[in-house]
Amino acid sequence: MIDVRPFSSLGRFQNEWLNANHHFSFSDYYDPNRVEWGALRVWNDDTINAGTGFPRHGHKDMEIITYVRSGAITHRDSLGNEGKTSAGDVQVMSAGSGIMHEEWNQEGEDTTLFQIWIHPSNPGGAPRWDAGQFPKGDRAGKLEVLASGRSNNGALAIRADADLLAGTLNPGDEVTYDPEAGRHLYLVPATGKITVNGVELSARDGAAIKDEDRLVIRALEESEIILVDSR
């Protein structure tokens, strides 16, 4: 099953500094058919204007992954962490028993990112934050695990039965992915155009995938792809 969710069908929110597109029900956007997908609860496609951002606010019992597509985001939190995550790189935050944080675009250009929330395997626990650099050249022509609760091979750790993978593909490149039975997959090309098992996806479309023994992902254009595999 491959359920395509075109970018034009996503939920929308816009104010003077944020342009957000919601793959799943979020804030004032609600679609009973798009509440979550396995452990995946939120996938927001955000554009944050230069010199603006999210003021301090709290989270609890959620694994929050930020994949920066362009520009950079600067994080500060109640644990004393501070760091800047740039395009192509990833930050993760385990909200655990509770954390306050803020996210600012301190650059001279708009920042675009995917904000991805995944239900943790267990509630509570000490909150934590981490970030990592993942050069796009290192994942050319393949899928690389960037954040995971199932593998520690260089990926950022999350407390969820889930993986976040990414790859960059040239036109004509093809990669395969063999999920375990019963997994929920969500695939988004950040840029470009691809097919997955023959089904076409354009930039920023989403595809909810289940009960496919193998994914064959083929790039029709130069493409950057993000995949979440969760229980």
**What does the pLDDT read at residue 30?**
98
- Amino acid occupying residue 207: A
Q: Can you give the pLDDT at residue 27?
A: 96
Assign 153 a pLDDT band (cuts: 50, 70, 90): confident
Select from 138, 202, 199, 194 the least CA-distant residue to 170.
194
Is the pLDDT confidence value at 151 over 90?
Answer: no
* Average pLDDT of the segment spanning 101-126: 98
Q: What is the mean pLDDT of the chain?
A: 98
Q: What value does the mean pLDDT take over residues 20-35?
A: 98
CA proximity to 174, closest of 216, 207, 224, 214: 216
pLDDT of residue 63: 98
- How far, in Å, CA of 209 to CA of 191, rounded? 19
Indicate the number of domains in the chain.
1
CATH number of the domain enclosing 132: 2.60.120.10
- Structure confidence at residue 103 as a pLDDT band (50, 70, 90): very high
Average pLDDT over residues 10-29: 98
In the predicted structure, residue 152 carries a pLDDT above the cut 90:
no
Tell me if residue 125 falls in helix, strand or coil: coil
162-171 mean pLDDT: 98
Q: Confidence band (pLDDT; 50, 70, 90) for 61?
A: very high
Yes or no: say if 2 and 195 are a contact pair by the CB < 8 Å rule: no
pLDDT at residue 208, as a whole number = 98
- Select from 77, 85, 122 the least CA-distant residue to 105: 85
Q: Structural domain of residue 162, as residue ranges?
A: 2-230
